[in-house]
Amino acid sequence: MWYMLKAELKNHILNLRFWAGVLLILAAALVSEQTHLQFLLDSGGSREGPGWFLAYSFCSGGEHTLLFVPIAVTFAAGGEAEQELHSRFALFSCVRTGKKQYLAGKAAGLILSGGLMLSVSMLLMLGISVLVFGDIPVLGGGGPAFSTVLLQVLVSFPRGFLNGALWAMAGGFAAIVTRSRYLAYAVPFVLYYVLSVFQERYFRRFLFLNPRYWMAPVYFNDLICILILLALCALTGFLFIRALKRRLDDA
């Protein structure tokens, strides 16, 4: 199991697709939130918190930033399981490592690649925010305590990891069900967009249906967001493993 986990981590992190996804998320955050960031620079501060914290919050939880996440996190491993099934490499791997280990390894690869991709992107957002906006003070001498700000930043990373893992597994599941690795990149984005529009137009009171609020603690607190993402990750992982096992049994 540890051998499979190490191999999956190495294959999905040390490749160009992983870092292309990181750069896409980072670029989307900086470009889409340019108006808010420029306003923060022009105003010279805010009463809501230090400049670096607000800049990081804008980038990591922005509506347009989160729209790109379901696309990017599937780059590293979203279509790999379907590609291995198509080339019959999956059958060879099952003979060598065992079916259970193979299934667990594929699920772990999606979780780690998607979760770490978004976490690394958020870490870069934080670094840029500190470097560019670190000198912008809190206006009026108030604002939240540093410990509160630090806790919110730290908690954002497990949220980000779970959010990235969720959409990566959704892409992997879509590829297995549709038998097309290319749909691993499209289906999570379409699902995110459809759920968002569906909730905003028809079920405005049911905020938990909107995937944006699973990641951005706008209406729910951090604990609720993490629990929602954790439950959805468990469900999606279960569906992915079941679908992959069925394809292996039929091969």
Q: Which residue, 70, 59, 75, 65, is CA-closest to 21?
A: 75
CB hemisphere CA count around 63 (13 angstroms): 7
Q: At what angle do helices 146-178 and 99-133 cross, to 10 degrees?
A: 140
pLDDT value of position 251: 63
pLDDT value of position 128: 95
- Per residue of the chain (251 residues), give pLDDT as tens: 555 666 666 777 778 899 999 999 999 999 999 998 988 888 877 878 888 999 999 999 988 899 999 999 999 888 888 988 888 877 777 777 788 888 888 898 899 999 999 999 999 999 999 999 988 888 766 667 788 889 999 999 999 999 999 999 999 999 999 999 999 999 999 999 999 998 988 888 888 889 999 998 888 889 999 999 999 999 999 999 999 999 988 86
3-state secondary structure of 31: helix
3-state secondary structure of 46: strand
Asked whether the beta carbons of 12 and 112 are under 8 A apart, the reply is: yes
pLDDT value of position 94: 79
pLDDT value of position 3: 58
- In terms of C-beta distances under 8 Å and separation of at least 24 residues, what long-range contacts does 9-17 make, across chains too? 9/108, 9/109, 9/112, 11/77, 11/109, 12/76, 12/77, 12/80, 12/109, 12/112, 12/113, 13/76, 13/112, 13/113, 13/116, 15/76, 17/75, 17/76
Cα torsion for 166, 25, 11, 226, to the nearest 10°?
-30
Q: Which two tokens stand for residue 14?
A: 């040390």
CB atoms within 10 A of CB 35: 9
Cα separation of 30 and 19, whole Å? 16
Cα separation of 33 and 24, whole Å? 14
The greatest distance separating any two alpha carbons of the chain, rounded to the nearest whole angstrom, comes to 67
Asked whether the beta carbons of 193 and 143 are under 8 A apart, the reply is: no
Q: Which two tokens stand for residue 245?
A: 């096992």
Asked whether the beta carbons of 62 and 29 are under 8 A apart, the reply is: yes
Mean pLDDT of the chain: 89
Cα separation of 138 and 210, whole Å? 32
Who contacts 96 (Cβ-Cβ below 8 Å, separation ≥6)? none
pLDDT value of position 86: 84
pLDDT value of position 137: 81
Exposed / middle / buried, residue 86 (Cβ in 10 Å: 0-12, 13-18, 19+): middle
Q: Where are the beta strands (DSSP E) in 133-211?
A: none
Per-residue pLDDT tens over the stretch 55-78:
999 999 988 899 999 999 999 888
pLDDT value of position 6: 66
